[in-house]
Structure 1
Amino acid sequence: MKPTTVLIKNMVCHRCVMAVENILQTESIPFHKVIFGEIHLCDELSNDQKSRLLYHLDKIGFEMIDNQTSGLIEKIKQLVIKRARNEMDSETNKIKLSIYISDIVHHEYTYLSSLFSSVEGRTIENYFIEQRIEKAKELLIYDQLTLSQIAFELEYSSVAHLSTQFKKITGLTPTYFKEIGAGKRKALDTV
């Protein structure tokens, strides 16, 4: 019995985790835990289990990552999403993004940045900004926070900084976006 970790692409929310847990339970595949982008199994998958898991994951828009480079890119994306959505404790949020990512994945940031750019066609920083703007869109649509509160929540230095990045990414001001609503939001896995 050898515990193993399987990497999964496109798992970006708690509902994704629940959907994968449901597949594992339905298929009677024993697991320790499921977290963003990872399944921690109790044992290696048999060929039959692997093919059934691949089938069910594909049906809901996920895919198993087989090579190391893809796994590393997916891990970086998961870390960036958590950071951009402010889903970490305040101490971790104080750590510079590059240092945080390097510490977690145990590689130099220059290597990770170069790898990410060559595979994704954009920088880690651009991906981080895009994720923060998607979170800002979500908060604007919910209409429970002011623009100042959203800027504070997403750790922007000012409302002007948030507005500038928002307009650069979306082509719209936050106020105008709020008026036209959810039609302009993207699913996180398509960002």
Structure 2
Amino acid sequence: MILTVRNMVCDRCKRVVQDELERMGVVVKRVDLGEVELVTPPSAHLLDAIRHRLQQNGFDLIDNKKQSLVEHIKVLLINEIQYLKAERLPTENYSTFLERKVGYEYSYLSGLFSTSEGQTLEKYIIALKIEKVKEWLQYAELTLSEIAWRLSYSSVQHLSNQFRQVTGQTPGQFRKDAHANRRSLDAI
């Protein structure tokens, strides 16, 4: 049985979910971002206990197919932007990528995402990209040109303009700020 879990955004999240379920005696076959595969289906009572334990750790079970689809979209985008999984073809934009991976038209996905998350898919993608830019700026290992190229920006200027719109700072100002604020991915 596969459980869909909201707010799993990193490897640490996967470990926490797996550890918590194993503490409860649940046999886990596989844990991926947004999904847990169990060896046997849990009883209704155990499922309620799993939900409660996950909620205590900032996660939640998703029972609704539409909400599961939204979570799947988020996982695809996090993998693509934060973890650079490179499932997106080099010439493919995000809308075409999501259509190909999920099997629905982008207009449907966009409307569903906006209704569920209270923000557009485009804003979500931009927020993920800006958080990745912040991460790389804090590490100070890449130039702005390298960052723009890795995140498929058309130019350094485009990246800089978008960064300033979202953060209120230029990338250079952000890099100089030793206490620069970054958001956790589940807060985006």
Q: Which residue does 1:115 correspond to in 2?
A: 112
Q: Which residue does 1:138 correspond to in 2?
A: 135
1:140 and 1:178 in contact (8 A); partners too: yes
> For each residue in 1:100-153, what CA deviation from the matched residue of structure 2 results, as whole angstroms up to 9, or x when unmatched?
212222222111111112222322111101100001111111222222222222
Q: Shift of the alpha carbon at 1:177?
A: 0.9
Q: Which residue does 2:145 correspond to in 1?
A: 148
Q: Shift of the alpha carbon at 1:91?
A: 5.9
RMSD, matched Cα: 1.8
1:78 to 75, 79, 85: 75
1:51 to 48, 51, 54: 48
Looking at structure 2, the residues matched to 123 and 14 of structure 1 have their Cα atoms a distance apart, in angstroms, of 26
Looking at structure 2, the residues matched to 115 and 49 of structure 1 have their Cα atoms a distance apart, in angstroms, of 30
- Structure 1 residue ranges without an equivalent (≥5): none
Q: Shift of the alpha carbon at 1:93?
A: 5.0
Q: How many residues align?
A: 188
Q: Shift of the alpha carbon at 1:62?
A: 0.5
Amino acid at match of 2:167: T
Q: Which residue does 2:97 correspond to in 1?
A: 100
Amino acid at match of 1:103: R
Looking at structure 2, the residues matched to 30 and 179 of structure 1 have their Cα atoms a distance apart, in angstroms, of 47
Q: Shift of the alpha carbon at 1:17?
A: 0.8
Q: Which residue does 2:29 correspond to in 1?
A: 32
1:166 to 136, 148, 163: 163
- Structure 2 residue ranges without an equivalent (≥5): none
TM-score computed with the length of structure 2 as normaliser: 0.91
Q: Shift of the alpha carbon at 1:38?
A: 0.6
2:7 and 2:59 in contact (8 A); partners too: yes
TM-score computed with the length of structure 1 as normaliser: 0.90
Percentage identity across aligned positions?
38
2:113 and 2:121 in contact (8 A); partners too: yes
**1:90 and 1:12, CA in 2 relative to 1: closer, same or farther beyond 3 A?**
closer
Structure with a larger share of its residues in helix: 1
Q: Shift of the alpha carbon at 1:86?
A: 5.0
**1:70 and 1:181, CA in 2 relative to 1: closer, same or farther beyond 3 A?**
farther
Looking at structure 1, the residues matched to 15 and 83 of structure 2 have their Cα atoms a distance apart, in angstroms, of 21
1:84 and 1:131 in contact (8 A); partners too: yes
2:88 and 2:97 in contact (8 A); partners too: no
